[in-house]
Structure 1
């Protein structure tokens, strides 16, 4: 064909769609090639879930067949390829990606193979030259590590592999009874799932840890108080406070009073000043007396309140989000901790307690969250508040000192300390009124048992309350708390003796003894706090000294060579070792760092360093 004929054929008329045909066909061919390659070389991607799978995640439903054990046509894999002890298990190759040339560069060869785990089950793996790649999801579950694929700023991805999921909290400074309690400024006790609510009667958490009905748990209450005390110390910005009503002054612009109701200032002899008296129906079917707040930033509400007989205070809030909701938090003269229905959440403030003057400090966000969980149960999503609209008053009562603030840490701390004063019994203990079953139910503590950890936490709380207020009642209660430390567990105390020699203060005073490590160290810190404040008390000096001696002698018993044990049930109960979860292991480390800051013996710093290395995957040497 001549050049003219070729040019003529190129200039001939074509349908407009024809010029798109070649690119489209090229794209289709590329997709087909990609699909074939993917089916061939991508047998299974390496997964990186954030949670652990169960133990049977990679098990196959059928036993291993003869054709999977060895095939003459399969490539021989020696023990160096798959690891020690794996050489005798030959896996039949499934798929293989042949080596190809791409611009003069050689592409890696992958082969899909089966990894035979402990002569028990297979998982899909991938072999590249002499290296075998195992799915991270299997490694994660098998070795109890954690990790996830994370996006980088440059658009790339990286696998963030962590041997321990729990962070070690370092000390800011040397431990002091006046200072932050360990790392408790990081604690948010009241938002825990096992906290039913913050009691309207006492202002402290109500636990559901070992019983759904809700009960007061001294350890949890002390941690609530110590966390708020610690937050108060480290907060660099002073809490913002807006006074809404003070000294009984009635600003009529803020009040809406329905017909038949009254609001006015009166002199109150008990308080020695002016307060606001209100009279209205108790019925929820009638409008309440409304006091406007319109607060959009600070959601801690404080007020002084007293009813003549029965009554209620209701807080109206609006939630954020696309579907904004109006919720009503009602604090009523009832002994029920919390209830909810419709868009109403009820907190009992005591059937009798509501008839005396009390100061209430309520974190409205927490109260909404706890009520929302009851209202929506499985459909629950965290509710964020956009504003507090105002409050409604029903019944006959008196109110004063209404304020909103960004926080009220010291009020919440003293709520815990004051609860300790009321809840302490004649034996100096804080009884735990719920059954505790331990070691798969083989031992049981009936309601009324003491805990050395609770005693120690209470001392740490009360000594700080004493230092803050200079009120002797807090120190006296802390000293009374020493009594159970000298009473053996079998006699309703917390004292156990290890090997007839070492005194140990039991978090769970069972028979036989458990010797829980973290609870014992918390009790030592409580004794140290009291020892620091009451240096002339010989009992606390003796108890702390003998406990410290026991810890130094027994600490190595908790070292597994790769972590720690939670207790010594494998010694005292002939049960398997109770390995400490990483969050308990890192608590052990932080506790040792605290002791290292106040005691000269190097054992605490040495053990803390070794146990820290375990969180990075290091193990002790073997023979």
Structure 2
């Protein structure tokens, strides 16, 4: 191991220890203490689906992000900034911010929490003002191969769901325009500035979390489908409904490629077959499958929901922790 490699290894080890071990033990905010907050699904049954469709004045979100509102942070404008290690530093991550906004929305409509509506609209207005003319909610910091400014189907979907709820609560059409614009390029290939890519093993389309990398991150693809369903349902947008249906058909064919005999995979990038989910993300994608199987009524998704759930044993979680930590130490 060269001196440069040793330094990089030690730096990764220090960042991992600080982010995943010391911060939780010391009660400090870190990126991991945000992403690892519980987020169960709100859709588990046909009864949940009926309640979701009929909920007033605005539907609760498919994933329960109310715990995100408990995350302690400091910012001059009230918008969440995650404390990334140097050299990145504190940054607004659109996906993280939208989860927080949706948490505030649900605290308002489900709990009647004082001040939650105002906190929700703080986020909706902040991002409506900063959405690009082509609809992007850009990331303004570099993240490995993705150089700023970059965009993500994951964040676009979550942002569209936020804007839909801002419209339903306020009646202001500018939020409708923002929601539709956020999903406008979901049928455009990543190479042309859009969000759609081809999953080569099956030749089917999917929506990419990292368009510059095209790693087919499965949790990002799953989450990108939620807003397509919501805009199709609440705004009657046929294009979004068709994209949701196409995405479900693709997901049904992709899931076997992410299923190991003992666990599941995060992506199908350059080292396809080796980047396993952390136990936390395993739980998250199972919750996504629970929601998507209710929305789509797909027997295939129900099968993988149950099968992936059965893989989540203490022995397999321990094995996944080892492989995930090893990868982060050696690569990223």
TM range (shorter): 0.7 to 0.9
Q: 1:587 aligns with which of 265, 280, 284?
A: 284
Pair 1:180 & 2:60 matched: yes
* C-alpha separation in 2, matches of 1:483 and 1:214: 30
Q: Which has the higher contact order (CA 8 A, sep 6+)?
A: 2
Report the equivalent of 1:552.
252
Sort the Cα spacing of 1:166 and 1:462 in 2 relative to 1 into closer, same or farther, 3 A: closer
Deviation, 1:575, is: 5.2
The alpha-carbon deviation at position 594 of structure 1 amounts to 0.7
Change in 2 beyond 3 A, CA 1:575/1:186 = same
Map 1:507-526 onto structure 2 (within 5 A): 507-511=209-213, 513-526=214-227
Within the alignment, does 1:448 sit opposite 2:149 as a pair? yes
Q: Is the 8 A contact 1:167 1:586 kept in 2?
A: no
Deviation at 1:232, TM superposition (A): 2.2
Which ranges in structure 1 are unaligned for 5 or more consecutive residues?
Answer: 1-164, 240-406, 438-443
Cα drift, residue 516 of structure 1: 0.7
Q: CA deviation at 1:226?
A: 0.3
Mapped contact 2:79–2:97 kept (Cα < 8 A): yes
> Residues 231 and 562 (structure 1 numbering): CA distance in 2 closer, same or farther, change over 3 Å?
farther
**Pair 1:539 & 2:239 matched:** yes
Question: Using a 3 Å threshold, how does the CA distance of structure 1 residues 575 and 563 change in structure 2: closer, same or farther?
Answer: closer
| CA distance in structure 2 between the partners assigned to 1:190 and 1:557 by the alignment | 36
Matched, 1:600 2:302: no
Q: Per the alignment, do residues 214 and 484 of structure 1 end up closer, same or farther by CA in structure 2, a change over 3 Å counting?
A: farther
Tell me: CA distance 1:189–1:558, structure 2 relative to 1, closer, same or farther (3 Å): farther
Change (3 A) 1:531 1:189: same
1:478 maps to which of 176, 179, 183: 179
Matches of 1:171 and 1:533 in 2, distance apart?
18
How far residue 166 of structure 1 moved from its aligned partner, in angstroms, is 9.5
* Deviation, structure 1 residue 618: 8.5
**2:84 touches 2:91 (CA, 8 Å); kept in 1?**
no
DSSP 3-state at the match of 1:467: helix
Q: How many residues align?
A: 270
Whether 1:228 and 2:104 are equivalent positions in the alignment is yes
Q: Is the 8 A contact 1:458 1:478 kept in 2?
A: yes
Report the CA distance between 1:579 and its aligned residue.
0.7
Deviation per residue, 1:35-71 (Å, 9 max, x gap): xxxxxxxxxxxxxxxxxxxxxxxxxxxxxxxxxxxxx
* Alpha-carbon distance change, 531 to 577 in structure 1, aligned in 2, over 3 angstroms: same
Query: Larger Cα Rg: Structure 1 or Structure 2?
Result: 1
| Offset at residue 189 of structure 1 (A) | 4.8
Deviation for aligned residue 1:496: 1.1
Candidates 205, 208, 214, aligned match of 1:506: 208
Q: Residue 576 of structure 1: CA displacement?
A: 5.5
Q: Residue 484 and residue 215 in structure 1: after superposition, are their counterparts in 2 closer, same or farther (change >3 A)? A: farther
Aligned CA distance change for structure 1 residues 609 and 228 (closer, same or farther; 3 Å): same
TM-score w.r.t. structure 1 length? 0.41
Decide whether aligned partners of structure 1 residues 465 and 565 sit closer, same or farther in structure 2, where only a CA change above 3 A counts: same
Residue 40 of structure 2 corresponds to residue 169 of structure 1: yes
SS in structure 2 of the partner of residue 588 of structure 1: helix
Equivalent-residue separation in structure 2 for 1:220 and 1:166 (angstroms): 12
Residue 186 of structure 1: CA displacement?
4.1
Deviation at 1:556, TM superposition (A): 1.6
1:564 equivalenced with 2:264 (yes/no): yes
Tell me the distance in 2 between the aligned counterparts of 1:471 and 1:182: 23
> How much does 1:449 deviate?
0.9
How much does 1:435 deviate?
A: 0.5
Distance 1:215 1:521 in 2: 25
Kindly provide the CA deviation profile for residues 231-277 of structure 1, in whole angstroms up to 9, marking residues without a partner as x: 22332xx55xxxxxxxxxxxxxxxxxxxxxxxxxxxxxxxxxxxxxx
Deviation at 1:463, TM superposition (A): 0.8
User: Whole-Å Cα distance in 1 between the matches of residues 106 and 84 of structure 2?
Assistant: 24
Cα pair 1:166 1:586 within 8 Å, conserved: no
Q: CA deviation at 1:493?
A: 2.4
Aligned-partner Cα distance in 2 for 1:167–1:231: 15
CA deviation vs aligned residue, 1:173-196 (integer Å, no higher than 9, x gap): 22736432234244225626xxx5
CA distance in 1, matches of 2:306, 2:315: 11
Q: CA deviation at 1:486?
A: 2.6
Q: Which residue of 1 aligns with 2:83?
A: 208
Q: Is the contact between residue 42 and residue 61 of structure 2 (CA under 8 Å) also seen in structure 1?
A: no
As a proportion of its length, which structure holds more helix? 2
Are the aligned partners of 2:152 and 2:210 in contact in 1 as well (CA < 8 Å)?
Answer: yes
Paired with 2:103 and 2:92, the residues of 1 have a C-alpha distance of 17
Q: Is the 8 A contact 1:204 1:416 kept in 2?
A: yes
Give how far 1:472 is off.
1.1
